Each structure stands twice: as structure tokens, then as C-alpha cells.
Amino acid sequence: MVPRRSRSARVTANDVAARAGVSQPTVSLVLNGRSDVRVAASTRERVMQAAAELGYRPNLVARGLVLRRSFALGVVVPDLGNPFFLDVVRGVERVASESGYAVLLCDSKEVSPEIHLETLRTRQVDGVILDPLSAASVPEAALAELNVVVIEQTSERWPWQASDAAGAGRLAAEHLIELGHRDIAVAGPANPLHGFLMRERGFIRTLRDAVLSVRSECLRRAPATVEGGQNAMRALLAQTPRPTAVFCVNDLLALGALKVCLQSGVQVPEQLSIMGCDDIEMARIVTPELSTIAVPAREVGARAARQLLRAVGGKPPSRTPVRPLPVRLVIRRSTGPVPSTTES
Amino acid sequence: MVPRRSRSARVTANDVAARAGVSQPTVSLVLNGRSDVRVAASTRERVMQAAAELGYRPNLVARGLVLRRSFALGVVVPDLGNPFFLDVVRGVERVASESGYAVLLCDSKEVSPEIHLETLRTRQVDGVILDPLSAASVPEAALAELNVVVIEQTSERWPWQASDAAGAGRLAAEHLIELGHRDIAVAGPANPLHGFLMRERGFIRTLRDAVLSVRSECLRRAPATVEGGQNAMRALLAQTPRPTAVFCVNDLLALGALKVCLQSGVQVPEQLSIMGCDDIEMARIVTPELSTIAVPAREVGARAARQLLRAVGGKPPSRTPVRPLPVRLVIRRSTGPVPSTTES
DNA sequence: TTGTAAGCGTTATCAT
DNA sequence: ATGATAACGCTTACAA
């Protein structure tokens, strides 16, 4: 006896079955087109047609319940306002959607990571991609029995995908050194976001290898935002002597730094060289265009997603070991040779 | 007889019930804390404790199945790279998360709106927030029986939330006219995104009211991106006579336009005034800072979400009629008085 | 090859 | 006040 309830217009596999004159599981069988189960061509035909006529759409929620999978991924990033993370997310969404996965976006700036993780769990996401800051600021238990991939951090604790942060710092340092700079400042991150920290370290280490160092008053720590960059640069401009170059661990900082220079009448790069990191779109928009290190944000996201999906699918971890993704020096207009004369 | 299967560590309401020595539905009752159902204080206590001890988290998928709600919203925007839409999305997420709703983000630039809608449907989202372009480019059926709110477009077909686009155009025009400009160009949108179009129209109409008009060769249509703005401005700079001001229907266009001027040695605003619209963060970062129209993107998103949630909850549409949200003129450094002498 | 039955983890409607 | 019992829409044995 069919309960024949037309209360809602939602058409279910049952409706399709009724119309095709088959049982409901048969509908499921043909629509999922599993090769290991054979169904008569005529039945298949009727089912397909009935489904089409009724405009049947399988209910992923129901399927998720029985399969114990939600076919959804969570991504939590520290700040979507940072174009870098936006690009990471895009990379994730690209590969996720190719596999029929949805992604639940979480911005830790809006809501705390704990709450996000809690939400993601109750929604039964099949896995999460996490920035290291959010990963660290969440209690152990919040990640228990969850498929996790962290981004922008090498880790033994979790699978990871990251760009070569230390290499980025090194490239920046080499570029500045080659331009003749000896008194170089750094605008580093205020919070211990691993990737930023490694950029800073790679930079300083390379300086050290060249028997150079960063004066302690020239190592400014600030939030990795435009505003942070402004504050850092204001402090730097007050220094005597003034450093001849500054490496900002991300482009947002560099943008802020540049802004302050222009406002203060400090010529970039004639009087001061500014170097960013990430190569966000805005780096090419400001004047002078920002010299920076191109970081494959999308690719980091894409790989993280692939790795996560593999784990979710119960596949073996991976055949090749994960390596930091290479970064690339992009020389534009905000860096130049060290000024020959000293100015006040 | 309890199937006592410890195969998965996932804790269900059944486990809690067993531990608390009550029936499973009772667990549901106390945990949902519905005020209309009374349960003995002692039972409640035991259940709560058992739940806490076991670390029980309700399975939203299962709940969704029986409630026929997914507690998820879809948001589809034309381009997340546009900070304006990012802000809209943030507004949406803010109010959605306050109500325990998740949001599925869809970027039409990455994947076509049809596919997005399809995905959202199979995921049983309770409603979608749509930009008008995506809304228009999707077959009628894709939106059937779906709670929809469109943003940045007034509409009789769907509920909507929008900023006062025509007003934005008007404010921009008034500002430029007041500065003495008479030969004004417009960088409009290449695709018929309603909000952009209305900005353009509001602008031109106000000019007309002042007995001014835009020369046809000074009405450039381009994608509402930085690159589009660059192309538009290149074309404009080739004009003779050159217009003394240009209104860009969004800040991205204005950023691109500004960039080309600086590259070409055209002084802004001394030789050419540039006016944007949206007031994205970058408007304050470039030099000269962009004069623009502040548009409450977040608020648009937030209101759209509230309106959608109301509809989803079966509440009456709204007590007060929806009105376009007011915009505000922000005068910064990219606009100035019309140059007194004509230059080549 | 296909139908029947069981169950995924909830909520809702009854009895009790 | 609480326990059975029946959905929700689907997948997966297993029987026919």
C-alpha cells in the first residue's frame, strides 16, 4: 500500500518507482548506475524516463544518512579578507565540486574556530581543511576522529599542504641583498601563523648567512593586514638610521607599508625598497607595483582538497611524499638599488 | 535488544539513552529543550550528564531528514574576487550562523549557476540568495519551489534586498557636477548586472537633469574588474577632447582606471577626476585615495539572510516594505575641481 | 533480474 | 512524564 501523500511536491525515489512500475530500490540501483549490479535494459529505460519526467533529484541528505557521509568538506581560514586565503578556498572548491563535494566555508575572523569545528562536526562533514592558527587554537578533542589537512604548515601531526614559506623568505632576502641593501627591516606577523613565521625565518636566516642581521627595532610585528603594515611602517620611518628596505611577510602588510611611505613623502623604491609576499592581484594595481614572491595559493588549496578526498575515500595516504610547493620571485617596481647617499 | 555496535565511535542519541537509562526519544526531548514538553528534572539531569560524558553531538543530517530542512542556505555570487560580494557573503554568514544555519558558497565565476543551483537543490538547502545575473541565467525550473532572495536588484518576481544603486549614481554625478565637470565619462558594466546598470542610469539621468550628457564614445562598457577598468581608461585617454572626469560603476573599475592614468602620466585628480562606487578597502589604500560611494554590502547580505530565514521559518513575509539601502558619498583624493586650462 | 526487509539517527505522534 | 512506534528518503543485503 503506497501512502501516496502529495503534500509536498518533492519527488522521491518512491514516486519514480511507482511511475515506472518497479520497486524503489530498483530505482536507486539504476540511477546510481553501479556496474556490479545488472538490471534489464528495459527496466532501466523505464526508470530513467520516469525519473526524467518527474524531475527526480536524489536527496543527498538521506543518502548521507545511510552512507554516513555528507559529501561536504569544511574549510576554515583565518581571514577571508586576505586574498591569499580566498585563493586557497577557490582551489579547494574547484576540486571539491569536481568530486561532487560541497564546501562549508568558515572564517575564523567572524566566528571562533571552536564554534566552526563544532558546527562542521554536527553537519557531519567528511573532512576539514584548516589553517594552522585555527588548528592550534582548538582543543585536541575538537579534531578527534576527523579527517584533517592543515595548510601552510608542515606538520607531523596532521597531513599537510604548504607552499615553501622559508624559500619565499630566502628569495626575498637574496633579492634585497643583491640590490645592495644591508640595513633591512622586517614586518612580521603578530600572531604565530606558521607560514608567516617561516617566511620571516627564511628571510632572516638568509641575511645571517650573508653576515647581515635585522636590528631588533627594525623587526616589527603586526597583524598581517593593511593596517598592520601601516603601523609597522610608521614605526620604521621613525628609526634613525632608517632601514633602506623592508620585507613584509605578506602583500597586505606591504600594501599598508607602501601607503604610509607615499603619504609621508618617502619615495619607493628610491629611498626605501618594499618587498611583499603572496602576489595578490592588488600587488599589480598599486603604484609602484609591488615586488613580491608569488605563492601558489590555489594549488595549495587544490592539493589539500585532493589529499583530503583521498583520505575520505579510504584510499591509501599517497604514493609520493608531500613537499612544499615552490614559490617564485616577482620583481616589479617597489624594490630598487640601495640609495647611494644617506638622507635624514 | 540493543544492537550494541561499537564499530564507529560516533555517539548517537541511542547511546546516550542507554547510559541514562531512558528511551531514545526522551534524549531528543531534553536535548532540544522544548519548553512545551515537560520532563522530570531528574531525568533531564541524567540525560544531560550522559550526553556530556559521552560527548554526544546530534547528527544534523539525520535531523534534517526528518525535519525536511537542512539548516543550510546557498549563496551564489558572480565573483568572489570582488570584495563587494565578499562582504555581502560575510553579512549572510553572520546572520546565518547566529541562527544555526550554514551557508554554501557558490562562485559563478568558477562553476555555472545552473550547476550550482542543481547542487544546492540536491543538498536540500532551505533557501538561496542570488545575484541577479545568476538568477537571470538560470532556467525557470531551477528555482521552482525554492526560497529565493535576490540581492542588488529590485524585483517583483522575487523578494529582494538591494542598495540604492540609482542613488549611488546620482550622488556621484552631483559630486562631479559640483566640482565643475561638464565632460564626464562613464565606465559601465559589460554584462547586465542590474545594480551596475542602475548606477549607470542614475548617474546619467542626473547629468541629464543638469543639461549634461555623456558622449557616446565616453560611455565605455567593460567587465566590472580591474582589468576592465584599465581597458576602459585606455580608450578614454585616447579621446579628444579628453573628458575631465570619469565615473566607474564599481571600485574595481576605478582602481584599474586609476592605474592606467598613473602609468600614462595623467595626474589624478589634477587632470582627470576618477570616481568609484562600493568603497572597498582598497579604495583607501591606493594613492590617491579613491573618492567613491559607500555601499552597505554587509547589510545587504545580512538583510537578505534575515528575509530568507523568515520565509524558511514559515513566518509572514515582513511587516515593513523592503527599501533600497541608503548609500553615502565618500570624498577622498581622486576627484577634484575641473582643470582650468585644457591640455593636449 | 528484481522485490522485500532492515536500518542510517533523528523527530513526532501517539499511548501509557 | 516517558516509552513505543512510525516516519524521513535513501542504500544495501538477501530472498525470490
Q: Could you read off the pLDDT of B214-251 as tens digits, one per residue?
A: 999 999 999 999 999 999 999 999 999 999 999 999 99
What pLDDT digit, counting tens, does each position of B228-237 carry? 999 999 999 9
Confidence grade of residue A141 (pLDDT, cut at 50, 70, 90): confident
* C-alpha cell read off for A36: 556490479
Residues in contact with B93: Cβ distance below 8 Å, sequence separation at least 6, in sequence order: A105, A107, A110, B103, B301
| Per-chain mean pLDDT for chain A | 92
Give the whole-angstrom CA distance, residue A112 versus residue B320: 34
Q: How much is the average pLDDT of A249-263?
A: 98
Confidence grade of residue B328 (pLDDT, cut at 50, 70, 90): very high
- A111 in contact with B at a CB cutoff of 8 Å? yes
Q: What is the nearest CA distance from B209 to chain A, expressed in angstroms?
A: 35
pLDDT at B35 over 80: no
Q: What share of chain A is helix, strand, coil (3-state, %, to 5)?
A: 45, 15, 40
Residues in contact with B59: Cβ distance below 8 Å, sequence separation at least 6, in sequence order: A65, A122, A124, B10, B12
Residues 225-244 of B with CB under 8 A from A: 226
Confidence grade of residue A8 (pLDDT, cut at 50, 70, 90): low
Give the whole-angstrom CA distance, residue A223 versus residue A190: 5
pLDDT at B344 over 50: no
Confidence grade of residue A7 (pLDDT, cut at 50, 70, 90): very low
User: What kind and span of H or E run contains A232?
Assistant: helix A226-237
pLDDT at B277 over 80: yes
Give the whole-angstrom CA distance, residue A105 versus residue A107: 7
- A67 in contact with B at a CB cutoff of 8 Å? no
pLDDT at A292 over 90: yes
Q: How much is the average pLDDT of B151-157?
A: 93
Q: How much is the average pLDDT of A142-156?
A: 92
pLDDT at A6 over 80: no
Q: What is the nearest CA distance from A106 to chain B, expressed in angstroms?
A: 9
Q: Assess contact for B168 and B134: CB atoms under 8 A.
A: no
Angle, CA of A228, A234 and A236, to the nearest 5°:
105
Q: Do B90 and A111 touch (CB under 8 A)?
A: no
Confidence grade of residue A231 (pLDDT, cut at 50, 70, 90): very high
The distance from CA A288 to its chain's CA centroid, rounded to whole angstroms, is: 27
Give the whole-angstrom CA distance, residue A30 versus residue A75: 34
Q: What is the nearest CA distance from B3 to chain A, expressed in angstroms?
A: 17
Q: How much is the average pLDDT of A115-129?
A: 95
Give the whole-angstrom CA distance, residue B274 versus residue B119: 41
Residues in contact with A64: Cβ distance below 8 Å, sequence separation at least 6, in sequence order: A70, A71, A124, B61
Give the pLDDT of residue A1.
Answer: 32
pLDDT at B37 over 70: no
Annotate B251-290 with b (16+ C-beta within 10 A) or e (fewer).
Answer: bbbbbbbbbbbbeeebebbeebbbbbbbbbbbbebbbbbb
pLDDT at B30 over 80: yes
DSSP readout, B277-329? Answer: SB--GGGGTSSSPPBEEE--HHHHHHHHHHHHHHHHTT--S-SSPP-PBP-EE
pLDDT at B4 over 60: no
* C-alpha cell read off for B218: 565616453
Give the whole-angstrom CA distance, residue A311 versus residue A318: 9
Give the whole-angstrom CA distance, residue B116 versus residue B128: 11
Left, alpha or beta for B211 (phi > 0: left; psi -120 to 50: alpha)?
left
Confidence grade of residue B32 (pLDDT, cut at 50, 70, 90): confident
Residues in contact with B337: Cβ distance below 8 Å, sequence separation at least 6, in sequence order: B179, B180
Residues in contact with A106: Cβ distance below 8 Å, sequence separation at least 6, in sequence order: A74, A75, A76, A77, A113, A116, A119, A120
Residues in contact with B39: Cβ distance below 8 Å, sequence separation at least 6, in sequence order: B26, B29, B30
Query: Taken in order B249, B255, B261, B267, is the CA torsion positive or negative?
Result: positive
Q: Which nucleotide is nearest to B15 (CA to C1')?
A: C9
Q: Do A64 and B61 touch (CB under 8 A)?
A: yes
CA torsion angle B181 B185 B188 B194 (round to 10): 40
Among A62-66, B2-6, B114-118, the range scoring the smallest mean pLDDT is B2-6
Which amino acid, one-letter code, is at A342? T
CA-wise closest residue to A75 among A117, A122, A138, A123 = A117
Give the whole-angstrom CA distance, residue B16 versus residue A337: 69
| Per-chain mean pLDDT for chain B | 92
Distance A24 CA to D5 C1' (A): 23
Distances (CA, A) of B337 to A64, B41, B117, B341: 63, 74, 48, 12
Q: What is residue A70's three-state secondary structure?
A: coil
Q: Do A123 and B62 touch (CB under 8 A)?
A: no
B149 DSSP β-pair partners: B129
Distance B23 CA to C9 C1' (A): 14
Which amino acid, one-letter code, is at A243? P
pLDDT at A320 over 60: yes
Selecting from B61, B93, B282 the residue whose C-beta is nearest the C-beta of A61 gives B61
Distances (CA, A) of B119 to A17, A141, B6, B122: 23, 32, 33, 5
CA-wise closest residue to A172 among A253, A74, A62, A233 = A253
Give the whole-angstrom CA distance, residue A12 versus residue A5: 11
Q: Do A124 and B97 touch (CB under 8 A)?
A: no
Which of A76, A111, A122 to mutate to test binding with chain B, by most B CBs within 10 Å of its CB?
Answer: A122
Q: What is the nearest CA distance from A65 to chain B, expressed in angstroms?
A: 6
What pLDDT digit, counting tens, does each position of A189-210 carry? 998 889 999 999 999 999 999 9
* C-alpha cell read off for A132: 594552522
The distance from CA A237 to its chain's CA centroid, rounded to whole angstroms, is: 32
Q: Assess contact for B168 and B178: CB atoms under 8 A.
A: no
Could you tell me what percent of chain B has a pLDDT over 90? 83
Q: Do B64 and A61 touch (CB under 8 A)?
A: yes
Q: How much is the average pLDDT of B93-121?
A: 93
Confidence grade of residue A33 (pLDDT, cut at 50, 70, 90): confident
Which amino acid, one-letter code, is at B26? T
Q: Considering only CA atoms, which residue is closest to the C1' of nucleotide D7?
A: B66
Q: Do A121 and B80 touch (CB under 8 A)?
A: no
* C-alpha cell read off for B10: 560516533
Q: Assess contact for A199 and A227: CB atoms under 8 A.
A: no
Q: Do B287 and A262 touch (CB under 8 A)?
A: yes
Confidence grade of residue B103 (pLDDT, cut at 50, 70, 90): very high
Q: Assess contact for B128 and B108: CB atoms under 8 A.
A: no
Give φ, ψ of A309 to 5 degrees. Answer: -65, -35
pLDDT at A286 over 60: yes
Q: What is the nearest CA distance from A239 to chain B, expressed in angstroms?
A: 23
Q: Do B105 and A105 touch (CB under 8 A)?
A: yes
Q: How many helices (H) does chain A have, and how many strands (E)?
A: 12, 11
Confidence grade of residue B5 (pLDDT, cut at 50, 70, 90): very low
Which of A82, A93, A123 to mutate to test binding with chain B, by most B CBs within 10 Å of its CB?
Answer: A123
Nucleotides in chain C near protein beta carbons (<7 Å) = 1-13
Q: What is residue B207's three-state secondary structure?
A: helix
pLDDT at A63 over 90: yes
Give the pLDDT of residue B1.
Answer: 32
DSSP readout, A91-135? Answer: HHHHHHHHTT-EEEEEETTTS-HHHHHHHHHHTT-SEEEE-HHHH
Give the pLDDT of residue A300.
Answer: 98
**Which stretches of chain B are DSSP H helices?**
13-20, 24-32, 41-54, 60-67, 83-98, 113-122, 132-136, 165-178, 194-209, 226-237, 251-264, 297-312
Give the pLDDT of residue A38.
Answer: 75
Could you tell me what percent of chain B has a pLDDT over 70? 95
Neighbour count for residue A51 (Cβ, 10 Å): 22
Confidence grade of residue B323 (pLDDT, cut at 50, 70, 90): very high
Contacts of B95 in chain A (CB under 8 A): none
Which residues from 53-72 of A have any strand D atom under 7 Å from their CB? 56, 58-59, 62-63, 65-67
* Residue B68 CB in 7 A reach of strand D: yes
